[in-house]
Structure 1
Amino acid sequence: MSTVPGTQVIGRVAAVLRAVSGAMPRGLGTTAVASATGLSRPTAHRLLASLAAEGFVDHDALSGRWVPGPELYLLGAVAAERYDITAIARPVVRALSDATGESAFLSARRGDETVCLLSEDGAFPLRSHVLHEGIRFPLGVASAGLAILAFLPDSTIERHLAGVDLSAYGDAHSPRRLRTRLAETRATGWALNPGLLVEGSFGMGAAVFDASDQPAWALSITGVEARFSPARRPELGRALLEHAHRLTQALRGR
């Protein structure tokens, strides 16, 4: 099958932009961008320099790090008119944090990934710092990605598991073990990440559905292990499902 001319370049540029935006607020150095995208360092630097010339990224000369540029903000402001749900979601994310005492987040599905859109710090003084606005994970990684993946069609799940390598996130993300966790998520309605990304940092997530009943977003909470005891998880799960349902209904009524 023939490919569209320039497809490879566009794919590389997209990967670079995702890597830079996902590393906010600190940004990434050129070597880190190359590592995150699988590009050689010279190729990564050439693309970053070209993007900087067009205003899509900025380079901090002191730190050597790359950060999103003003053109991305302008394009994002235009796209937000169609895609931004944060105004509707923010009160629900805040209410979830207030109800649980944990840090709460909203993540959106973007293809085979989730991207964190909103965060609200919890009242409990010890917090997990796995998630932050802009960070991306493959579907099936972190509680939000697990919650979304669990409620996609079986054929989509199998295609995803066959097409991605999640070994970098540990043995718990092997296809066999992920299928078990997906089944558990479907049974309870909420997903559990028991310290699989950072030891001692737990997370739980619940899917938020669009008008076509597809899991397009997820609410999640994170905190230290002691706050997610087996006795407390059902209570946290009920709070997640209640707020996820509230947000689903609000988005359908907008």
Structure 2
Amino acid sequence: METKRLDLVVAGSRYLSIVGDCIDTIGRNGKPATMPLSYHQNRVDRDKSNCYHITFAHNLELKKYMNEHDIPKKQRSKHLWKMIKSLVENFGDPSQDWELPVDFGLGRLEEKLPEIAPTNEKENGTNNKEDDSTMTQQQPLKTHVSYFRVIHWPFGQKLRAHFGLPPTHFHVTVGFDPKDIHSPKGPNTLLLKDGLNENLIQRWVKTALDYPDQTIFLHRLYDCLILSDRKELAEPWLHLLQTSTPQIDRSSSEETSPCT
């Protein structure tokens, strides 16, 4: 049977996702051995599928896009299919012509979040509304953990730019507990010690210039290169470290320390 490299799917009028065998392979092979099985099951229950996906555009982005283009609500589902048609017409068949996403390594996020999501978070996937601030402060906090594969996909960024969407941090969620965390899942969240190998190091070194804002990642990578006596590999992007300070780390504790 012919494998499906990539395909586009629509969830109502709320999400536009990328699926395919290559993404399933990244997800299946990317689950950390230390992750409890319940984390995986939580993802399956949420997605109602054992298959994996990359979110191409989430609900808030699509809502903003539709509003800016004056697309009536009743026509938005239909318009999403027009968007997919536009991608195929301009960039070719996803299963044959598109460049494949690249697995950039295992990422992890850990945050303390309210046990009961505020109203706006339930509806919109965000809790930035001031109306919910008092209720959020009164709710007990619970530790939430998400595991995912960070994805390097310049071609996907080009696809988003076709619709005027900004760059995003593509990822493949592999598990979470109790709920997924919807914070940026870029290279800053990588667990550099987990599954570290020469291929990953070379991949990070070659693409580091693509992530000037991911200073936690760049500092950790530089430390790894120093420990392996290869700091000269950082010369093309060393200037980014000299003008930056690492941001706050919300991924994990000792797991994210430099690779040793």
TM-score (norm 2): 0.28
Question: Larger relative CO (CA 8 A, sep 6+): 1 or 2?
Answer: 2
Q: If the length of structure 1 is used for normalisation, what is the TM-score?
A: 0.29
> Greater share of helix residues, 1 or 2?
1
